[in-house]
């Protein structure tokens, strides 16, 4: 009886196969106890977003439409006609006789006045061309380059290469002889910049333990705010100088920073393991361990990596093609469905996120203060996104944020024009800031959400495509802003409808709160099956 009673129990026990240690679990063994120096390295990586922000919003000042005033010195015009035109809300100096007006500041302070873009017959399309070219370059670079960080180059090399080429393009912009060369160089700068922030965020989150991932991601958004906030201060300091100085003072520090990263930051051990490069992964982990005070760790201490990564590394390393990660996503309906839903929502958020700072000039308020307010709005939005990621579901948070952004943007259309009174100006600026604040938080949550939705083998490519969806909104935004100077519905109205409606697409995504990161597509499929009860 004893044998009969115990045999099934023993058989059942022996039938359970030992669960193989995942890469995520193995990595956590070595870098989970994140030390101060390790965290400092991740923060150094996140600072790349500050230089990104400067390039993204540079055109707010360099391409600004400058103010003008009447002189009344032309023959046959005592100044009355010019004064009447200047009093009109839709006044354009281009329609006035030569010599009756002049710019308030030197013509070289803006590309619009230096090259007479407003009066050259190009209209809003020519004025918005450089900004749109930058975002178009982002879009092209995001599609063509973002997969390299998952395949051939890795996160670290891709980041350094992006920063160096972006900085060089910024320096060359100083020598632009006309708007066409300027727009072309802005396209090149956007193309090179497209992968910098994505590589920095993914690499920084993969260098720390899971308890620090959201914090490091939010640090990137904080540094983006710092870079954004530096622009009004720099522009105000150089307000009487040529717009070319803005590119000098932002591009050269970025180039020095890229050189610093090359010598101080190691490659992601998680990516190296997934690519089957175990010895390099061990070397990277040893560097991280030394940052945490573990100089005594030897190669034998990393035996867990041999047991967890052999099969995974061999399987993934075979896909060396430039677009192998995109093929891997497209071959799986669940991955393609996730990518389509989150990129659609991000496009809607991107229209507001990139469009609102460009449209502050139409609110008849001080340009420097308005941009500073927008930049300052990013700081509390980063804190809000950190709190939402830690305590609330991703989908419900995003629906609430996009709805709030849309309603506040539509409010800018309903609120009376600033000319109706000072209160109207303040109310519209407050509504614009509230919409931008909500869109910033939504954008931050979307990027952190996308890190959780896709495994290590395709993560950088997926996050890069999500960012480019936001950039696509940036391509559309400058033209809408230019049209909105005549009628606010084309800017604030379209912004509100777009972000509010497209934000609902996040309801088609699975919830990832509390889940561990997957490393391969097969791991993610298994995790999804467990959650769905399959």
CATH value at residue 242: 1.20.1250.20
**Token pair recorded at residue 162:** 């992006």
304 found inside a domain: no
Supply the pLDDT for residue 9.
42
Q: What is the mean pLDDT of each run of 10 residues along the chain (534 residues)?
A: 45 46 64 72 90 87 81 56 56 69 83 79 74 85 80 88 94 93 94 88 83 82 88 89 93 94 86 80 77 54 57 47 75 89 93 77 61 76 85 90 92 68 64 87 90 85 86 78 69 86 92 79 74 53
Supply the pLDDT for residue 250.
93
Supply the pLDDT for residue 306.
60
Last residue of a domain, which of 221, 237, 264? 264
For residue 209, the number of C-alpha atoms closer than 13 Å in the C-beta half-sphere is 15
Report how far apart, in Å, the C-alpha atoms of 163 and of each of 33, 49, 57, 169, 170 are. Answer: 30, 10, 16, 10, 10
Q: Which domain holds residue 122?
A: 23-67+103-264
31 found inside a domain: yes
Pair 208, 329 in one domain: no
User: Beta strands of 100-146 (E only): which ranges?
Assistant: 101-103
pTM here is 0.74
DSSP state of 103: E
What does the alpha-carbon distance between residue 518 and residue 528 come to, in Å, rounded to a whole number?
A: 10
Instruction: Find residue 103's DSSP bridge partners.
Output: 68
Pair 326, 241 in one domain: no
Pair 258, 361 in one domain: no
Pair 459, 346 in one domain: yes
Supply the pLDDT for residue 340.
93
221 found inside a domain: yes
498 found inside a domain: yes
Report residue 90 CA to chain centroid gap.
34
Pair 323, 259 in one domain: no
Residue 102, classed as helix, strand or coil, is strand
Pair 198, 332 in one domain: no
Supply the pLDDT for residue 184.
95
146 found inside a domain: yes
Instruction: Find residue 102's DSSP bridge partners.
Output: 69
Pair 204, 336 in one domain: no
For residue 384, the number of C-alpha atoms closer than 13 Å in the C-beta half-sphere is 18
Pair 49, 145 in one domain: yes
8 found inside a domain: no
Instruction: Report the domain count for the chain.
Output: 2
Question: Could you tell me which of 404, 475, 453, 459 has the C-alpha nearest to residue 433?
Answer: 404
Pair 241, 351 in one domain: no
43 found inside a domain: yes
403 found inside a domain: yes
Pair 251, 327 in one domain: no
Pair 347, 209 in one domain: no
Last residue of a domain, which of 221, 243, 264? 264
Pair 259, 338 in one domain: no
Last residue of a domain, which of 264, 280, 309? 264
Question: Could you tell me which of 163, 164, 158, 127 has the C-alpha nearest to residue 144?
Answer: 158
């Amino acid at each position: 009886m004893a044998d009969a009673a115990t045999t099934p129990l023993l058989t059942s026990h022996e039938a359970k196969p030992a669960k193989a240690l995942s890469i995520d679990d193995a990595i956590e063994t070595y870098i989970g106890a994140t030390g101060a120096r390790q965290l400092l390295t991740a923060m150094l990586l996140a600072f790349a977003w500050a230089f990104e922000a400067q390039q993204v919003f540079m055109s707010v000042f360099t391409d600004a439409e400058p103010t003008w005033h009447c002189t009344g010195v032309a023959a046959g015009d005592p100044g009355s006609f010019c004064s009447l035109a200047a009093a009109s809300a839709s006044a354009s100096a281009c329609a006035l006789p030569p010599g009756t007006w002049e710019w308030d500041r030197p013509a070289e302070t803006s590309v619009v006045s230096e090259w007479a873009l407003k009066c050259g017959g190009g209209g809003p399309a020519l004025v918005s061309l450089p900004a749109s070219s930058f975002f178009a370059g982002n879009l092209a670079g995001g599609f063509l380059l973002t997969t390299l960080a998952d395949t051939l180059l890795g996160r670290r090399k891709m980041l350094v290469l992006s920063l160096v080429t972006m900085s060089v393009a910024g320096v060359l912009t100083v020598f632009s002889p006309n708007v066409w060369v300027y727009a072309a160089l802005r396209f090149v700068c956007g193309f090179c910049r497209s992968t910098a922030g994505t590589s920095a965020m993914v690499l920084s989150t993969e260098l720390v333990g899971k308890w620090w991932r959201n914090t490091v991601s939010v640090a990137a958004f904080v540094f983006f705010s710092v870079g954004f906030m530096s622009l009004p201060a720099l522009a105000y300091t150089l307000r009487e100088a040529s717009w070319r100085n803005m590119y000098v003072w932002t591009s050269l520090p970025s180039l020095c920073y890229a050189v610093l990263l090359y010598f101080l930051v190691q490659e992601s051990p998680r990516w190296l393991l997934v690519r089957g490069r175990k010895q390099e992964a061990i070397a990277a982990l040893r560097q991280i361990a030394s940052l945490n005070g573990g100089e005594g760790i030897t190669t034998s201490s990393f035996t867990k990596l041999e047991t967890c990564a052999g099969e995974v590394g061999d399987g993934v390393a075979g896909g060396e093609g430039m677009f192998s990660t995109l093929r891997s996503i497209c071959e799986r309906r669940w991955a393609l469905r996730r990518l389509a839903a989150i990129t659609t929502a991000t496009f809607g958020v991107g229209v507001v996120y990139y469009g609102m700072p460009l449209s502050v000039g139409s609110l008849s308020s001080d340009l420097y203060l308005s941009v500073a307010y927008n930049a300052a709005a990013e700081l509390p939005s980063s804190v809000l996104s950190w709190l939402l990621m830690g305590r609330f579901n991703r989908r419900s948070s995003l629906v609430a944020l996009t709805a709030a952004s849309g309603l506040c943007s539509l409010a800018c259309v309903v609120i009376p024009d600033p000319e109706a009174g000072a209160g109207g100006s303040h109310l519209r600026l407050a509504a614009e800031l509230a919409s931008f604040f909500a869109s910033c938080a939504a954008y931050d949550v979307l990027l952190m959400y996308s890190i959780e939705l896709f495994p290590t083998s395709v993560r950088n490519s997926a996050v890069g495509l999500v960012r480019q969806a936001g950039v696509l909104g940036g391509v559309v935004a400058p033209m809408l802003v230019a049209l909105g100077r005549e009628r606010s519905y084309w800017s604030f109205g379209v912004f509100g409808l777009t972000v509010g409606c497209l934000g609902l697409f996040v309801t088609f995504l699975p919830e990832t709160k509390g889940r561990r990161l997957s490393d391969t597509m097969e791991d993610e499929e298994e995790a999804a099956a467990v959650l769905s009860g399959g």
